[in-house]
Amino acid sequence: MSSAADVTQLREIFGAKILQTVEFRDENTVIVELGSLHDVLAKCRNDLGYAMVLDISSVDHFGDDPRFEIVYEIASLDDSRHLRVKAKVSEDEPVASATDLWAGADWHEREVWDMMGIAFSGHPNLKRILMWEGYPFFPLRKDFPLAGRPSDMPDVAFSGVAPLEGGPFVTSAGAEDTVRREPRARVIE
């Protein structure tokens, strides 16, 4: 049994609070409004049997409003059903933490906070997990340069700008031949 039945059940319960559902190659995605995100997750966890959180990630739609999107990948314990729950988050808006539902959400949410700067309300220990405490930037945001920015915390850590030597090397998918499609050093206008 796939998670399609669970999606219709969620639709019945939450109605208009579920903005959109997407089914693509048997993968089911539920897009909800941020206010009812925690309720939907609690329903999935407590009644529909999604006992495990696989991953929590975030997307930066730089230029859009709301800017961020948070993605929960959840699964049943026998791995028969997977479900993806998404919600849009605007800047400086906190997300209700899912650590009360899944203890495993703890580090995932810390990573989201560390890399993207999305705060979680009700998180027991919301501090940086990869970068050091006191690092002033959120490095996975689109407006943060790949080369990095200089920062300094004496006796803790520092960072400098990495020389990119013509990079960043990105593929140009629409280019006419393979040479132009390959990631090579290019001058960026």
Q: Which of 5, 13, 103, 162 binds another protein (CB under 8 A)?
A: 162
Strands (E), the chain: 18-24, 27-32, 52-60, 68-75, 82-89, 95-96, 120-121, 151-153, 157-159
Identify which of residues 103 and 153 has a Cβ nearer to another protein in the complex: 153
Residue closer to another protein by CB (options 6, 111) is: 111
Q: Where are the alpha helices (DSSP H) in the chain?
A: 4-14, 37-46, 105-116, 178-181
- For residues 17 and 41, the answer to whether their CB atoms sit within 8 Å is no
Q: Is 22 near another protein (CB under 8 A)?
A: no
- Minimum CB separation of residue 139 from another protein in Å reads 5
Region for residue 124 given its phi and psi (left: phi exceeds 0; alpha: psi -120 to 50; beta: otherwise): alpha
Binding segment for another protein (CB under 8 A), chosen from 31-39, 55-63, 130-138, 177-185, is: 130-138
Question: Cβ closer to another protein: 13 or 153?
Answer: 153
Q: 72 or 138: whose CB is closer to another protein?
A: 138
Selected from 16, 163, 178, 179, the binder of another protein by CB under 8 A is 163
**Between vectors from CA 120 to CA 118 and to CA 123, what angle results, nearest 5°?**
145
Segment interacting with another protein, rule: CB under 8 A, options 13-21, 29-37, 80-88, 150-158: 150-158
Does 136 sit near another protein (CB under 8 A)?
no
How far is residue 164's CA from residue 183's CA, in Å, rounded to a whole number?
13
In this chain, which stretch among 29-37, 39-47, 75-83, 152-160 interacts with another protein, using CB under 8 A? 152-160
Binding another protein (rule: CB under 8 A), the pick from 62, 77, 91, 158 is: 158
Q: Find out whether 34 and 24 touch, Cβ atoms under 8 Å.
A: no
DSSP state of 121: E
List the one residue from 22, 156, 170, 185 that touches another protein (CB under 8 A). Answer: 156
Q: Which two tokens stand for residue 168?
A: 């960043």
* Nearest residue to 152 (alpha-carbon basis) of 164, 161, 143: 161
Question: What is the contact surface with another protein in residues (CB under 8 A)?
Answer: 130-132, 137, 139, 144-149, 155-160, 162-165, 167-168
